[in-house]
Amino acid sequence: MEFLGMYHYWVFAVLLMIGFYAVVAKVNLVKKLIGLSIFQAAVFLLYITMGKVSGGTAPILPDDAPAQLVSNPLPQVLILTAIVVGISTTALGLGIVVRIKEEYGSIEESDIQEIDRP
């Protein structure tokens, strides 16, 4: 029961490790960036799930409505910023990969190391 109650943390942890594995183990630079995106997406999910109050609705409070249970909107706002940061990082990373392809003619890490070896 406790396992199921905490399942969103398991989603976070498993996604985080899948992304991390791809970053560490893949030699292809684009695959590394995909891994990095999964890694960051896992953290977005951690933030968004932590703000959810079960049974809570969107935090819009009209003046005349009775008090009701709402979810915490702040983590979602924070993660909106983090998503923008993540996209910028991925875009810059892909830009660098394009430049690497132009200069080295390959996007495999092993090839690049081979070419640069004096």
Partner 1 sequence: MSLEFHLPALQVAVPLLLAPVVVLLRPRGLAWAAATVTSLMAFAIAVAMTQGILDGEVYRYAMGGWEAPYGIGLRVDRFSALVLLLVTGASSLGLLAGKQSIDRSIGTRRQPLFYAAWLLVVAGLAGILVSADAFNIFVFMEISSLASYVVVAGGTDRRALPAVFKYLIMGTIGATFYLIGVGLIYMMTGTLNLADMAMRIHEVSEQRPILVAAGFITVGLALKAAVFPLHVWLPNAYTYAPHAVSAFLAACATKVSLYVLLRFDFVVFQPNLLGHDFQFAAFLMPLAVLAILVGSTVAMFESNIKRLLGYSSVAQIGYIMLGASLVSLTGLSAGLLHIFNHALAKGTLFLAVMALAMRFGQLDLASLGGAARRMPWTMSAFVVGALSLIGVPGTAGFISKWYLVTAAFAEGPLGYFLIAVIVVGSLMAVVYSWRIVEATWFAEEVRANPVTAETATGEAPTAMLAVVWLAALTNIYFGLFTALPRALAEGAAGALIAGVP
| Contacting positions for partner 1 (CB under 8 A) | 16, 20, 23, 29, 32, 36, 39-40, 43, 46-47, 50, 75, 78, 81-82, 85, 88-89, 92-93, 96-97, 99-100, 103-104, 109, 112-113, 116
Rounded to 5°, the CA angle 71-74-75 comes to: 90
In angstroms, give the least distance from the CB of 81 to partner 1: 6
- CA-CA distance, 52 to 47, in Å (whole number)? 9
Q: For partner 1, which is the closer residue by CB, 54 or 81?
A: 81
- Provide the H-helix boundaries in 26-108: 29-50, 74-104
